[in-house]
Structures are given as structure tokens and as C-alpha cells.
Amino acid sequence: MSTGKLICNDLVKKYGKKEILHGIDLELEPDRIYGLIGRNGAGKTTLLSTLTAQSPVTSGTVTYNGLPVWENQDALDHICFSRELNPLIGWGANSLKVKDYLKAASIFFPHWDKQLAERLVQDFELETKKKICKLSKGMMSMVTIIIALASKADMTFLDEPVAGLDVIARDAFYRELLSEYTETGRTFLISTHIIEEAEDLFEETIFLNDGRILLKESTQALLERAIHISGKAEDVDAATTGLAVYHPEKLGRSKAVTVLLQEGQCIADGYDLSSQPVNLQNLMVALCGPDSQHSVPDSQQNTPDVKTGGRKGR
């Protein structure tokens, strides 16, 4: 089981004058599976790149087990960020054959599991003599999955690992991931847009919105306190007074909202309302969608559980 924590403090990343990540504070514990969720352009890949020293930070620090990760082989030996391969790029790493790509990985990752890599190649029926740029999107995802799993790194980051994979391959990937996690206690952080499928995997979920961490919480606890409420608009408003309300939708006299309850809070009784649990995907729409305007009572702002935008002065 891995023991090190990956911690980043006040991480800022700029591309030119544009600030992509705005002072991120994040702590990744060993022996967990994290889900990283956010819209396109929220900064997920940039965050993963900077956490793994593939991209330099503009300011802030990233450490693994107390060691800075930037250009530090001792820290990097415990980390693997298997990047999404871009089918539109025919040069660089994409110009290599799959077998050469895997060979390179086997040399650089100190705990590389050759047998696991070979088995996954067979399971996924991957053609290793093909150049990466000639692979389909799904096959490229298989390559990134093989790298991530066979690297045996304590902290493994996957960016859109199931993009383009068919349902059978996705199922195989989830099973492999769980089996690897159970056997080794490695930490995985998975960035994905296929949230509904993956939510059962995530022990903790990190919501990233516009370069800020909106939420980082146990998935189960989060879903337990997220409720979708609908009914007459005045009843909904009255019942949710003082609660953190997201994503209001109005249809005639009816209204629906998503509520994130804090400890000790509950929906007021005595109103004719319909309430339903919210899954992770709908919660993301509520928190990060275009209509995600929310009202949060003053008493709850900037609590540890709900970071509402954070660092506005930046």
C-alpha cells in the first residue's frame, strides 16, 4: 500500500496572461480512488499536468511525501499521469508504434509490471505493431490505461481513460482498476466526463469549476446530502429558505432546485414537495452548469465542505 500524500498549496497556473488555475489547495491521500469532475476547459488536464510535473506551475507548491515533485526523480518515481493521446497529432510520441511506446514506458517506470502490460494488451486485443496515430480513439485510450495500470505507481492519474471505449472495454477497465486498487492500495485520480458510470468507483469526488476546487468530499456523503426538490414555486422557496440551493428550474408555477444540505439541516416539513436523490452527473449539472446560480446563506459561505468560488480577490 502506498503511504505518501500528494499535496498542492496555492497552485496557480497561467498560460500567457490567462490564469487557468486560481490558487488550488488540494491533498490526495493514499489508498483512495478520486474522481475529478468538471466542464470542458475547467482546468482538469492542466491541474493533472502541474500535479505531476509535466507542466511547470506559475506559483505555488506541489509535493509528494514532503518532496517537491518538479524535476525530482525520488518523488516522480511514485507518480504516473497517463495522458490522453490526441488522435489529431501524428508526430511526437504519437508517431511511435505501440510496442515501442510500451517499451519506453517499461524503461522509465521503475515498478513497471511487464506481465500485466502484456495481459492487458491481449485482453484489449491491441495491435502493438500499429503506430499510435493510426489507432482509433478507443484503442488510444486502451494504451493510456495499460500505461497507467502497469506503471504500478503509488499515485496514478488518468485523464479521460474511457473516452472512445465501447461499453465492454469500459467494463473491463473498471474491473481491472478495482482489482488493482484492492490488491495494491494504489491511489487513482480519474478525470472523466462519463460520470454516471464511474461514480460508484469514486470514494471521493473533486469538482473543478473555472480553475477552482468547488468541492472535495466523500462521494457517498456528498450524494446523501444532495437532494432534488420540486413542487410549487412558493413551497419550494419556503422549504429551502436558509439552505444552499443550486440550479433553480421554473416551469409555470412549478419549481425544481437542487439542495446541498449541511450537517444538521433538513428540508422544512409541511409543504407538498417531491424530493429525489441526485446522482453525481446531475449534481455536476447543478453545481457547474450554465444555470447553476445558487444561493448560499451567509452562515455557510466558505465552510470547509462548500467552497463557493473561494479566493475571489485573485
Partner 1 sequence: MKGLSRSLRYFTLLAGEYIALSLVIATAGFLLYLLRSNGANPEAFPIMILFVLYLFLIIFSMGHYMIMTSLVIPFNCTRKSLFWGTQYMMLLIAGTICILLGTYFGLVTDVGLHGFFRLLPAIAGMFAASIGLGALLGGIILKFGRAAVIVMTVFSGILGGIFGFCCSAFSDAGIDTVFMTFFSENARWILLTGLAVLLSGGSINYIVLGKSAVTR
Which residues contribute to the site for partner 1 (CB under 8 A)?
A: 49, 52-56, 71-73, 76-77, 79-83, 85-86, 89, 91-96, 101, 103-105, 107-110
| Shortest Cβ 209–partner 1 spacing (Å) | 23
Q: Which residues of 29-65 are buried (b: 16+ CB within 10 A; e: fewer)?
A: ebebbbbbbbbeebbbbbbbbbbbbbbebeebebbbb
The DSSP output letter for 85 is: P
Task: Pick the closer one to partner 1 by CB: 71 or 298.
Answer: 71
Q: In this structure, are residues 117 and 150 in contact, taking their beta carbons and an 8 Å threshold?
A: yes
Q: Which residues pair with 79 in a beta bridge?
A: 155
Task: Give the Cα separation of 174 and 192 in Å (integer).
Answer: 13
Task: Report whether 111 contacts 151 (CB < 8 A).
Answer: yes
Query: Smaller CB distance to partner 1: residue 114 or 250?
Result: 114
Query: How near is the Cβ of 99 to partner 1 at its closest, in Å?
Result: 13
User: By C-beta, is 95 or 230 nearer to partner 1?
Assistant: 95
Q: φ and ψ at 301, to 5 degrees?
A: -65, 140
Residue 55 CB, shortest distance to partner 1, in Å, is 4
Nearest to partner 1 of 60, 310 (CB atom): 60
* Comparison of 24 and 85: residue with beta carbon closer to partner 1: 85
If the CB atoms of residues 70 and 174 are measured against partner 1, the closer one turns out to be 70
| Residues 42 and 208 sit within 8 Å (Cβ to Cβ) | yes
What's the CA gap between 28 and 30, in Å, rounded?
A: 7
Contact at 8 Å (CB) between 122 and 92? no
Q: Hey, what's the cell of 289?
A: 452548469
- Rounded least distance, CB 176 to partner 1, Å: 20
* Minimum distance, C-beta of residue 96 to partner 1, in the bound complex (Å): 7
The distance of closest approach from Cβ of residue 30 to partner 1 in the complex, given in angstroms and rounded to an integer, is 18
Transcribe 137-164 into DSSP letters. HHHHHHHHHHHHHHH--SEEEEESTTTT
Q: How far is the CB of 117 from partner 1 (least distance, A)?
A: 13
Closest CB to partner 1 among 93 and 116?
Answer: 93
